Chains A and B, each alone.
Chain A
């Protein structure tokens, strides 16, 4: 049984934002991550504010310029199966298809997927860890085989759990946010928060902010994108390692490159080093190998996650080789 909470399901976005302003109010979209967190006691809720009645926030529409607007409540299944996402924003369709299980994809939303809480077992378990306002990171010296290689700032070693976030990042997505005072749109690579900036937050969202849409700009001409996820078992699980790519070529040379790793850092981890290694180059075995080495050069493995270094290296090589024109 879940702990007690008040519940409201407003008819308007404005009312939802207002309701979220009260103390310890939590947003409910698909509810799959929220209910899990409440059940595990990761945080508590005095009030659950459900936005599931806000049908305007559901659905996928083409923008006039050839991009897409995806309502925050659009299910992961709808994203994975959308023909235009499959053809023009392939990384996102791939990633959505790799999220969790069919049941969770049918219920989980795209907005919820990028806002989900980390899966670190100390954070999810009965540990008063840094991210929950305590003063110790238990993963630093503990069981850390699923933790990060980059971006921890020696503070918190979570990995960002979302598959869709790295795909959205290589596609230069924008996140629209409605809050009490204003609406704003931010590029997705400034949406996520590193532990060094605020160890208790994963995103820039304030308590009464709601992600309303995710906007994909028109894809650059000739762009190819992909997402590949490695897990400990073939059936559903979170990523041990993953890579999202978006590349465009001029003749055979890379003219546009985005390389973003998942399962690597507390946020979707853009590997500028790998991008620099391939920009302007043909994807020869030598260049691919250099890019893979560059991608893991600054990795800081912990006691138990060293296996991720060769895993990421191999993954970068494998996926870049598939992109070769």
Chain B
């Protein structure tokens, strides 16, 4: 894929796109096979056993898919769309490993119903890629060695990205607060803070 092209826009198929398309295909098959699937309507009540078609805008790409009302945004992103950078951690809004941007603001995808994410602009770590190259925050995390096991890293990066979109030149205190909702079990915090400071300069 040419360097200046955005992901998902090129004609070639990356491994990530291939996986995504396979998942979407599976969903489409499920759609054809489900009786009683309805479009989301304003005051319609979706019954617990019903699935409903929703549109999600993730990484500048529209996904139409069938969901159950109880599915979290995290579940849909990972298990239905195959975007596996977003991690399943505590699933109770405490660890931050599922952090995504919703309208440029970091939120926990485990604490949001997919139904609630309709019409919102969602960005996952995959959406920070510049083609096949790493984005500035990702690059800074790599260069500053801002992880050990790496499990919290995509959440940390999304929290940092959200911080920098709101405050391009954060102080060290603002950086610390910015990732205070993301736990790093390995204790890589000093490197994480350095990485975010570096990313702020690079962006």
Contact = CB atoms under 8 A, between A and B. Distances in A.
A107 interface: yes
Nearest to B115: A7
A101 B182 CA distance: 8
Given A8-B45, A35-B72, A39-B92, A102 B177 contact: yes
B45 A36 contact: no
Contacts of B131: none
Nearest to A46: B48
A106 B162 CA distance: 11
Interface residues of A, number: 37
A19 B181 CA distance: 34
Given A3-B70, A7-B46, A36-B93, A103 B116 contact: no
Contacts of B40: 9
A5 B69 contact: yes
Q: Is the interface of A mostly helix, strand, loop or mixed?
A: mixed
A102 B180 contact: yes
Interface in B41-59: 42-49
Interface in A92-120: 100-104, 106-107
A4 B70 contact: yes
Given A31-B113, A101-B181, A6 B108 contact: no
Contacts of B182: 101
A52 B120 CA distance: 12
B111 A35 contact: yes
B48 A4 contact: yes
Interface in B66-110: 68-72, 75, 91-93, 96, 99, 102, 105-108, 110
B159 A31 contact: no
Nearest to A97: B177
Given A7-B115, A11-B42, A103 B107 contact: yes
A239 to B, nearest CB: 16
A39 B108 CA distance: 15
A289 interface: no
A197 B42 CA distance: 38
A4 B49 contact: yes
B161 to A, nearest CB: 12
A106 B163 CA distance: 12
B24 interface: no
Given A32-B93, A236-B181, A1 B70 contact: yes
Contact of B159 (A6, A8, A50, A103): A103
B108 A107 contact: yes
B178 interface: yes
A144 B102 CA distance: 38
Contacts of A32: 93, 108, 111
B181 A52 contact: no
Given A9-B115, A31-B111, A39-B91, 11 more contacts: A2-B70, A4-B68, A6-B48, A6-B69, A8-B44, A10-B42, A32-B93, A35-B93, A35-B111, A39-B92, A46-B48
Interface of A: 1-12, 15, 19, 28, 31-32, 35-36, 39-40, 46-48, 50, 52-53, 77, 100-104, 106-107, 235-236
24 contacts: A1-B75, A4-B49, A5-B48, A8-B44, A9-B40, A9-B116, A11-B42, A15-B43, A19-B43, A28-B113, A28-B116, A32-B111, A39-B91, A40-B92, A47-B45, A101-B180, A102-B106, A102-B159, A102-B177, A102-B181, A103-B93, A103-B96, A104-B108, A106-B106
